């Protein structure tokens, strides 16, 4: 889609079916893309392998900028804005080990204030 990122164009909608733009969209939703800037992203990982085992354990933290934009409104609600949320936190633990030719792994992560994607379901005819 050309509705986010560099070179974004306004999103279009077909009033007959809001799930698709159609060949001749009649409604445009103007918005601007607010770039995240050059904020540093960083993290730390601590790993441990118990002696005599193939088990790998790790704990980690990451501070990052979302890769997908979140849409909202600016200018008194007259224009939409795609914003890349900054200072997102991720805390996690992981474990993995081999069994023959297989690799078995597990990961648990916690992301406070994580943005949740919301998409409409597509149904024929809207």
How far, in Å, are 8, 78, 85, 100, 103 from residue 116 at the CA level?
Answer: 22, 24, 12, 38, 30
Put residue 94 in one of left, alpha, beta given phi > 0 → left and psi -120 to 50 → alpha. Answer: beta
pLDDT at residue 58 greater than cutoff 90: yes
pLDDT of residue 113: 82
Q: Which of the two residues, 14 and 70, has the higher pLDDT score? A: 70
pLDDT of residue 126: 46
pLDDT at residue 19 greater than cutoff 70: no
pLDDT band, residue 28 (cuts 50/70/90): low
Rounded to an integer, the average pLDDT of 46-62 is: 96
Q: Are the C-beta atoms of residues 52 and 100 closer than 8 Å to each other?
A: no
Residue 46, CA atoms < 13 Å, CB-side half-sphere = 3
Rounded to an integer, the average pLDDT of 54-77 is: 83
pLDDT of residue 81: 73
């Amino acid at each position: 889609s050309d509705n986010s990122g560099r070179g974004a164009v306004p999103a279009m909608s077909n009033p007959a079916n809001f799930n698709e733009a159609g060949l001749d969209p009649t409604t445009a939703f103007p918005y601007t893309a607010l770039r995240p800037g050059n904020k540093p992203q960083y993290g730390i990982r601590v790993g441990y392998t118990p002696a005599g085992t193939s088990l790998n354990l790790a704990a980690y933290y990451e501070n990052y900028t979302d890769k997908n934009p979140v849409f909202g409104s600016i200018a008194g609600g007259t224009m939409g804005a795609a914003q890349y949320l900054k200072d997102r936190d991720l805390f996690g633990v992981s474990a993995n080990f081999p069994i023959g030719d297989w690799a078995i792994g597990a990961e648990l992560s916690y992301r406070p204030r994580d943005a949740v994607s919301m998409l409409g379901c597509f149904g024929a005819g809207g």
